[in-house]
Structure 1
Amino acid sequence: MLKHPHSVLRTSFLLTSLVVILTTGCGKFEVKDPPADQILSIRNSGQSALSTTPDAPPLPLPVVPKSEIEKYFQKPTPPAPKTISPKKMSSKKIGPLGLGFAELADPNVDPYTSFSKLRYLITNQPYQCSAEFVGGSGDVLMTAAHCVFSNDLHVWHSSFNTYLQFDQGTYTKQFDWECVAIYSGWAQGQWPLDYAFLKLRGSSPKALGLGGSYPTQWRSVGYPSNYYGGQRLTHIDGTNGGNGGGVIPMAQNSFGKGSSGGAWLNGSIAIGLNSFTVKDMPNTMWGPAFDHQTTRLYEYVLNGCNGDQRGSSTESRSERIAKYPRDQVVIESDSAKVTYGPQITQKEGSLCSCNGGRDVFMKNDMDFPYLVEYLENQFSVSGGGGKTERKTIQLAPQKTTFLGCTQGEIGKQSCEQARTFSIESMRRIQITEDQLGIRTLQSISPQYCAEKCTSTSSLGYCFKIGTSGQALLKQLAGFLSHTINKQPMDGVVATVNELVTELGGDPDKVGNPCNRSAFYRFGDLISNEGVDCRVTSSALSNSPDALRISLVSPTQTFASPAAPLTKDASRKATANLALFKTRSNAPVLEYYGPPTSDTLNSLYGGVVVAVERNQGQLIVTTENGCAAGDE
């Protein structure tokens, strides 16, 4: 079995290739694709171990049958995107090369100063691609989407290391990564969307611009293994093959493996990149035609992988799910981006004075106060070592607080220090009032939920799911403390086959939208190949408004047994409790269907903090509230 790499990732939102609709009792399934312009991203929530060995095998160039790309020829060439200006690039024009003759490019001379080698892991095996910095901030890297996400394995790559101006084993700077984003269309194998952007921790002094106007001739740059062994930056001039549509051929470009992701240049503007070759078409490289979607994805990553990810669809998840018949169960590859509760946002620096620096805020648009724990990663822009600080803040309702600058500090001239910020955990603060009118502020906790969900006066404090959610809540029961030390099958959310069986379907007749494999251990982690998986129940039988519950499980979901109870713990809490201490490795429980879904999620849904077996119920504590269902 392939071993999935285990860098610490926080999944931002993922709606990938398939949605399976299971109609309970009849075994009928429908498979459909999500919107191609849905943004998918993952976040590095810790400090990665930077590899001191930049060399790795070059990633082979994809070879595509001509029949597969002919469908794109029928579409008009998309309109050019708005141009993103380069950063500190010389305006001096580069001279022409002989068409089809590969030559050395000097990484110390513009526009080659922003080119880099990108090293990463695919199922624990190292590979490398070509990449380049783009845009005015100097901290956004562009490469091919197939260099960050594998369609055949349906997994994200990991441990991204960037080596600026790589040349025969040397480089000027090395960078860790903050987040990476692609479009859902790439996860579905759409070649016009074979591009990706990464937000890095640190910035390049110079960066290319970004555009999409195609002249009759342009230049390709990268680290192809068939020239100089992939050890030296190489450039080659070619001509526009001119088929139009969503993909563009560059004739006379003979680059081989390792060149994936290397930019196509028109002066200092990146107008495309090396993506794939077509069978029986030698010396021709193909690439995606850049358009407004390209700059949209760039701007999303520039903003720290924050913002609207839905694409052209304005339909909410609740609206979409509400259209399904009451007896249908929905299984899809999807990771929840919890949008209720405090969020980290960025904007162009008005407080931060460093070039490319952005102001970072913690924003709470909710009507409740929150206690938020967040990580501040500090590092040198020159690529040196850094440190991580864990901080806590109490955020009032409708309140925004300034956290810091992505580069530099307020009132200080030095711009050497850079920062990234990410939420580690949060708790809604519940305000209660006793019979005497005394108000108490208490953050949501397993002890609080155990007391409220076993109380006869739980109304408003604990959402009672009843018996309808048993098939779904059973997946959470596998995390309870008495199963933690058993085999992996008993320690994580189920495989897709188990889920389908539990929901009354035949797994032999269903595709695997989440690509879940058998379980295995990696150190203390219990893991699963594939992508994050969402299961949304049929309408609850005790709900007159077609309410459904939805459980998302990351591939690396794991829990810890609860510590022994102390005399200060709630009398209702028991030791039969499992805690999810890491937000990125915790399930998400949500509610969908009726118009009140947003309210229900803000009161009871969100990232799961704990699950407990208590008095015949499974009590689930989330960051926002409590829920209980019959086991």
Structure 2
Amino acid sequence: MEEKNDLLNIDEAELTAIENYWTEERMRNAIPHPILEISDSDLEQFKTKKKSTTDIESVEGKKLNYDTFNITPKDADVSKQPFCNAGKLFFTKPDGRNYMGSAEFCGNDQIVLTAAHCVRDHITGDWYQNMLFCPGYANGCTQKFVIVGKTTKQGWANNKNKKPYHLDYSFLITKAKSKTGYFGWKTYNPYSRWTSIGYPSNYGHAEYMKEVKGDIASTKKGLIEMSNNPMTQGCSGGAWIGDLNDSDKKGGNYAIGLNSFGHKKKPGFVWSPLFDSKFEELYHYAKSKLPISISKD
């Protein structure tokens, strides 16, 4: 089941309604979506040493003191590369309330990467509605990209007894093309240090993009753990950027993970699913569904 992909297309008649739905007031009042919270038992499993079967599945990280971090994320300049390619993602959940997370154009100028838990309920399989992406968001939205297609791995949905943490990624398809470009991506994270971005409520009240540099803490069971990342609600789906390049030179800026989940016993640590062959399959699946750009705006 995990090898298959799911797609939901949005009816053309709904697109204008979605764009009009997101008024400035609704955007400001959207609830920063929590990152996933792992259970105590899951945390203990992640701590357990596992005999390595491949170089990717289990890599022991250095020992870290959870209480010594005093990292403050800084403002990211969304007027410049690569941060202008990332922004806020808005959506409505089945409870009728409006939420926001973080996302970025990735791999293509009509494909947006975010966390699956910002797109679809992992228990019921219900897709979230009214999805709108605002790249370069800074205390307000200047660009609106309506989402016309949503994808997840089938293994993400209808999991009543567990959270499929290793599949917490989604590719969304936009109606119009990015005006600024997009991130690249790499699988099987080749980096030991990178930059995380997002719109956390605990820094900047989720109104400004933040960036913070951190290190690999561990890699096991299809997951990557990042240290020095204190961002919480609202940062879900924000990319982990390998080879950050904010100069005018070409190259770099690869999404190699994203903000997915954490645990209250480990503040300053955030996990991501490992971007592997399943991630690559979902990207190419989404790309194969791309429509011709409807709007030049």
TM-score with structure 1 setting the length: 0.39
Q: Does 1:260 align with 2:175?
A: no
**Could you tell me how far apart the structure 2 residues matched to 1:241 and 1:158 are?**
35
Cα offset, 1:235, TM superposition:
0.3
| Structure with the largest fraction of strand | 1
User: 1:119 is matched with which residue: 74, 87, 90?
Assistant: 90
1:552-563 to 2 correspondence within 5 Å? none
In the alignment, what sits opposite 1:42? Answer: 8
Q: Measure how far apart 1:69 and its partner are.
A: 5.3
| Selected match of 2:195 from 219, 238, 245 | 219
State the one-letter code of the partner of 1:277: G
TM-score by length of 2: 0.81
Structure 2: distance between partners of 1:176 and 1:248: 31
* Number of the residue aligned with 1:200: 174
Stretches of structure 2 that go unaligned for 5 or more consecutive residues are 58-68, 245-252
C-alpha distance in 1, partners of 2:147/2:89? 11
Q: Which residue of 2 aligns with 1:233?
A: 209
Deviations 1:272-313 (A, max 9, x none): 0000002411110111110121111011111117xxxxxxxx
Residues 196 and 273 of structure 1: CA distance in aligned 2, closer, same or farther (over 3 Å): same
State the identity as a percent.
29
Name 2:155's counterpart in structure 1: 185
Any conservation in 2 of the 1:79–1:292 contact (CA below 8 Å)?
A: no
**Kept after mapping to 2: 8 A contact 1:209/1:269:** yes
Identify if the C-alpha distance between structure 1 residues 222 and 232 changes in structure 2 by more than 3 Å, giving closer, same or farther.
same
Q: Residue 153 of structure 1: CA displacement?
A: 4.5
Deviation at 1:242, TM superposition (A): 1.6
Query: 2:56 touches 2:219 (CA, 8 Å); kept in 1?
Result: no
Choose the corresponding residue for 1:107, options 63, 74, 78.
78
Instruction: Tell me how far apart the structure 2 counterparts of residues 244 and 192 of structure 1 sit (CA, whole Å).
Output: 10
Q: Does 1:209 align with 2:146?
A: no
1:291 corresponds to which of 276, 281, 289: 276
Partner of 1:300: 285
Q: Give the equivalent residue in structure 2 for 1:417.
A: none
Task: Give the match's secondary structure for 1:113.
Answer: helix
Q: Give, in whole Å, the separation in 2 of the partners of 1:284 and 1:142.
A: 21
Verify the 8 A CA contact 1:217 1:238 in the aligned structure 2. Answer: yes
Look up the SS of the partner of 2:234 in the other structure.
coil
Cα–Cα, structure 1 residues 71 and 280, in superposed 2: closer, same or farther, change >3 Å?
closer
Higher Cα Rg: structure 1 or 2? 1
Amino acid at match of 2:207: Q
Decide whether the 8 Å contact of 2:235 with 2:259 is kept in 1. yes
* Coordinate RMSD, CA, aligned: 2.3
C-alpha contact (below 8 Å) 1:261/1:273 kept by paired residues: yes
Question: Is 1:131 paired with 2:116?
Answer: no
In structure 2, relative to structure 1, the CA distance for the partners of 1:77 and 1:252 (3 Å cut) is farther
Match in the other structure for 1:174 = 144
2:182 maps to a residue whose letter is: A
Tell me which residue corresponds to 1:437: none
Post-superposition Cα deviations, 1:52-88, rounded to whole Å, max 9, x if no partner, equal: 33331111122102422555674756869xxxxxxxx
Look up the SS of the partner of 2:31 in the other structure.
Answer: coil
SS in 2 for 1:302: helix
- The yes-or-no answer on 1:242 pairing with 2:218 is yes
The alpha carbon displacement at 1:380 in A equals 2.0
Q: Secondary structure at the match of 2:32?
A: coil
Contact 1:100 1:238 in 2 (8 A): no
Equivalence map 1:24-63=2 (5 Å): 35-46=1-12, 47-48=14-15, 49=17, 50=19, 51-53=22-24, 54-55=27-28, 56-63=30-37
Q: Distance in 2 between the 1:167 and 1:380 partners? A: 24
Whole-angstrom CA distance in 2 between matches of 1:45 and 1:170: 24
How far residue 237 of structure 1 moved from its aligned partner, in angstroms, is 0.8
AA paired with 1:380? S
Query: Any stretches of 5+ residues in structure 1 without a counterpart?
Result: 1-34, 81-97, 306-345, 347-357, 359-377, 383-631
Query: 2-side partners of 1:300 and 1:69: how far apart?
Result: 32
Q: Distance in 1 between matches of 2:151 and 2:236?
A: 17
Aligned-pair distance for 1:113?
Answer: 1.5
Which aligned pairs between 1:219-368 and structure 2 lie closer than 5 A?
Answer: 219-266=195-242, 267=244, 268-304=253-289
Match of residue 132, structure 2, among 134, 156, 161? 161
Q: Is 2:215–2:227's contact at 8 Å kept on the other side of the alignment?
A: yes
Cα deviation 1:550-589 (Å, max 9, x = unaligned): xxxxxxxxxxxxxxxxxxxxxxxxxxxxxxxxxxxxxxxx
The aligned amino acid for 2:215 is T
Mapped to 2, the partners of 1:275 and 1:126 lie a distance apart of: 19
Alignment partners' CA distance in 2, 1:302 and 1:61: 27
SS in 2 for 1:131: strand
Amino acid at match of 1:184: Q
Are the equivalent residues in 2 in contact too, given 1:214–1:240 (CA < 8 A)?
A: no
Provide the aligned length of Structure 1 versus Structure 2. Answer: 259
Could you say which residue in structure 1 is the equivalent of 2:66? none
Amino acid at match of 2:223: V
Query: Cα deviation per residue 1:419-457 (whole Å; 9 max; x = unaligned)?
Result: xxxxxxxxxxxxxxxxxxxxxxxxxxxxxxxxxxxxxxx
Distance 2:287 2:44 in 1: 33
Q: Distance in 1 between matches of 2:176 and 2:56?
A: 32
Match of 2:295 among 368, 380, 383: 380
Q: Which has the higher contact order (CA 8 A, sep 6+)?
A: 2
